Amino acid sequence: MPTPIRTTATRKLRTLLAALLPLLAALLAAAPTAAARTDAADAVPTATLTEVTDFGANPSNLRMYVYVPAGVTADPAVLVAVHWCTGSGPDMYNGTEYDTLADRYGFVVVYPSVTRSSKCFDVSSPQALRRDGGSDPVGIRSMVDWVTRTYDADTGRVFATGISSGAMMTNVLLGDYPDVFAAGAAFSGVPFGCFATTDGSEWNSACANGTVTHTPQQWGDLVRDAYPGYSGPRPRMQLWHGTEDDVLRHPNLGEMIKQWTNVRGVSQTPAATDTPQTGWTRTRYGGTGDRAPVEAISLQGVGHNLYGYGMAAQVLAFFGLDSGGPAPQPQPGACRVTATTNAWNTGLTASVTITNTGTTAINGWRLGFTLPAGQSITNGWGATYAPASGAVTGSSASYNAALAPGASVSIGYQANHTGNSAGPGAFTLNGTACASG
């Protein structure tokens, strides 16, 4: 602070100060705020992995590494990438493609790093399984807050992904902080609360072996109890698991599906099932598009170490980060679909009516639905259908692409069947779940 003037001011001095004060005020108004200067000083070098210290509350002494691309966007998204047991933040950086994808799309990547001897994240203690309860989740939340302050990051586009212990932490982060994370992707994990212990142990053999089972409601309650009273939106979840996982066994995938479909309030019956690659079975719940509320990928014959090159791009598609902008938010109830079938011995025709029940016009539509097993479309009208069986998308023709609010369009198809001639049970329009009937 300036030293106060203690002598008696002369009239000349007072006159001079009176003239200078407006100029001083103008200079102060033009100067950057203290917060802005602090953020600028805190910013890290771009295009290189950098450790950040003193990032905020950190009860379990985690280390924070961050990667900021040279082309970081204004209001960037934030991706937290969480390592496996015995790993580290730099290992996660070197072993995945998130930094190169950040270069392409402009988001910031945070790599938390464990310092305890096991190098495993705490996903089992009562403190970890409670919002702001202490331990690792609190430190990771502080890392996100640091990035948000420093880069004016988009708080609506914060995501988490992890492998093994990091996958378990992804489940925990989405449970503890549903108001922070928009979505997660867990590679070889277990449900939130499955690894819970009260004896200080970091390992839960029953959960690891896939013998801990609960009802969807019970699993969902474990998540909801982590943040009592929260009634806001819940994150979307993408789940990856190998059928031959001998560390965190494959039944955990089914339990995670039960948990997150319950948390999201969607059916456990897949809205779509497909095979993106040989040996992969992908099921989507509550929607058929890339950003369904819950998505699960089961890899036939694959063990615990399932993460491979190219999977990160599919994570980004699920997050909506592969376009550099925020993911569109579905508007449930904006459409209604009715379907009737007329069947004979081995064939059927289906008549489908789509109604735009929303308040905005639709220009170009894609109707998603899943055919019952044994059905295969042979031809159709009013839309182009692909593929012929399984999870099908009907795309609008040029003459019926526009649907004003309250307007309807009728389409149809002919299909073969092997005994089940029922129509599809659920529909989505441009990724939005539609009412039926």
The catalytic residue positions are 164
Distance separating alpha carbons of residues 114 and 64, to the nearest angstrom: 9
Distance separating alpha carbons of residues 261 and 263, to the nearest angstrom: 5
Q: Sign of torsion, CA 116 121 124 127?
A: positive
Asked whether 162 and 87 are in contact (CB, 8 A), the reply is no
Distance separating alpha carbons of residues 354 and 390, to the nearest angstrom: 20
Instruction: Name the packing angle between helices 311-319 and 98-105 (round to 10°).
Output: 50
Residues 6+ apart with CB under 8 A from 44: 50, 52, 66, 68
**Closest alpha carbon to 257 in 244, 279, 282, 239:** 239
Q: Sign of torsion, CA 246 248 253 258?
A: positive
Q: Write down the residue that tokens 């998505």 correspond to.
A: 295
Cα three-residue angle 384-389-391, rounded to 5 degrees: 80
Distance between first and last Cα of the chain: 73
Distance separating alpha carbons of residues 360 and 324, to the nearest angstrom: 25
Asked whether 94 and 179 are in contact (CB, 8 A), the reply is no
